[in-house]
Amino acid sequence: MIKILPGGTSAILKYGLKPTRSIRTRGRLGEGAKEHTFEVGPTELQTAWRDKRIETVLKVGSELYIRSLALEFHFRSPRHRGEIAVWTESYSDIFTVGRFKSIPGTLSETCAREGAWALWLSESPDADGLLFKQSPPADYPIRFHCRPGAKTLIISWEINRIFNEGETLNLPIVGMSRGNADRLVKSWRREWKASSGREMSRDRRAGWCGGSEIQAPKDLREILGSIRNNKIKVNWFALGPDYALETGDWLTPTDAFKDRMGSFSRTISEHKMIPGLRFAPFLVSRKSALASENRDWLVKISNGSPVMVPGYAGERDLSFVLDVTRPEVLAHISRTLSIMRDKWGFRTFFLERIGDSAVPGIRSDNRIGVGNLMKTAAAAVREALGHKVLLIASGLPLLTTPDVWDSQVMAPSSDLFAGYNSRRKRRTAMSIASAHLHRSPWNESAWINSSGLLPMNMFKEVSGSAARSLMNAVMLSSGLVSLAGDPRELDIETIDTVKEFLKLFDQCRKGRLGIAPNIGGGRTEPLVVRNSRGWIALFNLSERKKEVRLDRDRLKTALGLSSPLSAGDGTVFNSPEIHVALPPRGHRLFRG
C-alpha cells in the first residue's frame, strides 16, 4: 500500500517576473503529522492534512509576485519503482513525447508523470491507490508531478499574480480518497460534468479551416467548389488568420480581403457551409496598429515593458498579450466579435492561444488568479457572441472554463501534423491518438474534444501508420473534426479516403466508446477500442511491433462483444482465439 511519509516534506515558492526565483523550506506534513506551518521566504504556508483533504492557507509578508506554490511529499511502497502505477489528467493541449511522456488518462509504470486536476498513485494497476484531485471551480489550477524512481510527489498551485503586504489566500483544497482507479476517476469526472450542466450540440461536428492558400476571392471560390464537387461533407468552413493585416488587427483585413469579409461569409453560406473564422483574439503582433495605439492595453513586466510570448502560427516574431482585466480591452473584444458576427456574418469561431490571456505579468487588476483570468476571457467571448454560434477553443487548460466552449482542441494548430518523417512527429501523433481515445468520456458532457487541424497529407497513402492511427482514433472517439489544406491538390484516392473517414466518423458519433486497456497484459500493450456502432480497433501505441491474442471470453468480458470480427477484406475471425499482428504506431480496424 502506498503511504505518504510525513518527514521530509518541502514547501516550494516560485516568485518574481524577471528573473524567476525559487525558495524551498523543509518541514513535516503527512498522514502522521496533521498540521504544519512552512516559513518560505516572505510568505507563510499554513497546511493541514485532514482525512480526505489537504488544506492550505497562504499569508504574504510583503508585496510579491507569486508564480506558484508547491508541496513535495515522499511516499513509501513495498514494490519496485518500475511497478508503481501512476494515472493523471493533462493540464493543457501540449503533450510531452518520448521517455517522459505525459498522455492524459493513461496509466504508466515506467516513468515520471506530469499532469493536473487529478492524479492516482498505487503500488500496482490492480491494487487500491490514492487519488488526489481538484474539484470545481479551478480558480487556481493544481498540477501534479510524480517521480516513482525517487518516490516523490509534488502538488503545486499555479498562482501568477501580485500579493499585497499582509494578504491572505485560501488555496484550493486537494481532495483525497483511496480505492480503485476506475471508480475514483469516474466519480471525479462526474463532479466536473455536473458543474457544467449543459447540453452539447450534436451537429456541426465536421469543418474545414482555410489557411495561407487563400490569397484572393478566386481561391476561396475554387476551394469551396472543390469541397462541394468532390462531395466532402463538412458543416462549416473557417478562414484562417492570414486574412488580417497583422495579428491583433482582426478588423483590418489585407488588401485582398478589404471590404470583402461579408462577401466571403456569404460565399461560404452559398456553398451550404456555415461561415467561420480562425484567429487568436488575445494575441497582438508587435507590428500591429493595436500595439502602437494602445500600449497600456498590454500585459507588462515589472519595468513596464510588454510581456512577450512566442509568435502566432509559427511566426518568429514575438507577440504581446491583451490585459483582460481592463474594461476597455473587454469592450474591444466585444466590439470585434460583434462586428464579425453581425456585420460580416460569421457563425463559427475557432479561437486559438486562449491560455495566453493568463500569461504571467502585471495587469490593471493584479488580484485575479490564473483560473479567473481565463474565465474572464472566455465569458467575454461567449457574452459577445451568444449561444447560437459554435465556439472552439485551442491553447486552453481543460478544466478552467468547461461551461463556455463547445469544443476544446487537444493539439496546437501550428503545423503540428505537417509531415510524419521524423520520429518526434510520429510519437506526437500517437500521443494525441491515445489522448483522444482516453478523453472521450468528456465528449457531450463538459465539452467536445477536437484533435486540432488534420491536414490533407495525413489522408494520403504515404503518410504512414502513425497518421492513419490518429485518423482512426479521431473517427472512433467521435469528437469534432477540423480538416485543413488545399482540396484543389487532392488526387482521387485521397478524396475517397477523406470521404470514407467522414462517413465513418458520422456513424461513430451516434454511438458510445468503450476501451479495454492492456488486453495482453502490461502497460505497453495495445488498446482494444470499441464504438457501439459496430467498429472495433486494436491500437499499438508503442515503437515496436506487437501481437495481440484475443479470445471470445476476453472480448465478451472487456467489451461485451460476442459476435465474430470482420476485417473488411472478407476475412472473418470466428474462432475461439485469434492472433493479430500490429505494426509500430499502427492499428487494425474491424467490424464486430
Q: Identify the pLDDT of residue 432.
A: 82
C-alpha cell at 533: 456502432
Please check whether residues 36 and 182 belong to one and the same domain: yes
Please indicate, yes or no, whether residues 526 and 422 belong to a single structural domain of this protein: no
- Whether 298 maps to a domain, the answer reads no
> Structurally, how many domains does the chain consist of?
3
Q: Can you give the pLDDT at residue 519? A: 44
Q: Are residues 406 and 539 in the same domain?
A: no
What are the residues facing 447 on neighbouring strands? Answer: 443
**Averaged pLDDT in 10-residue chunks for the chain of 592 residues:** 86 92 90 85 93 94 95 84 77 57 66 84 87 92 89 94 94 94 90 76 86 91 95 95 94 94 96 96 95 96 91 80 97 97 97 92 92 94 94 87 86 53 74 83 80 87 84 90 92 94 90 69 66 85 77 67 61 62 83 73
Are 348 and 412 within one domain?
A: yes
- Give the residue from 508, 531, 563 where a domain finishes: 508
362 touches 302 (CB < 8 A): yes
Determine, yes or no, domain membership for 365: yes
**Is residue 422 included in any domain, yes or no?**
yes
Q: Residue 559: what pLDDT?
A: 63
Report the candidate in 524, 528, 547 with the shortest Cα–Cα distance to residue 536.
528
Question: Are the C-beta atoms of residues 336 and 385 closer than 8 Å to each other?
Answer: no
- Cβ burial of 584 (10 Å; 0-12, 13-18, 19+) is middle
Residue 51 lies in a domain: yes
Cell numbers 467498429 correspond to: 535
Are 182 and 250 in a shared domain?
Answer: no
Task: Identify the domain boundary among 508, 534, 569.
Answer: 508
Residue 85 lies in a domain: yes
Residue 441 and residue 551 in one domain: no
Question: Would you say residue 181 lies in a domain?
Answer: yes
Give residue 64's pLDDT.
Answer: 94
Domain match, 548 and 420 both: no
Does residue 201 lie within any of the structural domains? Answer: no
Extract the C-alpha cell encoding 540: 499499438
* Cis ω for the linkage preceding 104 (within 30 of 0): no
Which residue, 145, 162, 195, sits at the end of a domain? 195
pLDDT recorded at residue 278: 95
CATH number at residue 369: 3.20.20.70
Do 61 and 138 have their domain in common? yes
- Domain co-membership, 262 together with 378: yes
In CATH, what number is assigned to the domain containing residue 557?
Answer: 2.60.40.1180
Q: How many CB atoms lie within 10 A of CB 95?
A: 19
68 contacts 53 by C-beta, under 8 angstroms:
no
On the 0-12 / 13-18 / 19+ scale of CB atoms within 10 A, 263 is: middle
Residues 504 and 520 both lie in one domain = no
549 and 464 share one domain = no
Domain that holds residue 567: 513-591
- What local confidence, expressed as pLDDT, does residue 522 receive? 39
Domain identity same for 227 and 276: yes
Q: Are 432 and 449 in contact (CB under 8 A)?
A: no
What stretch of H or E contains 438?
helix 423-438
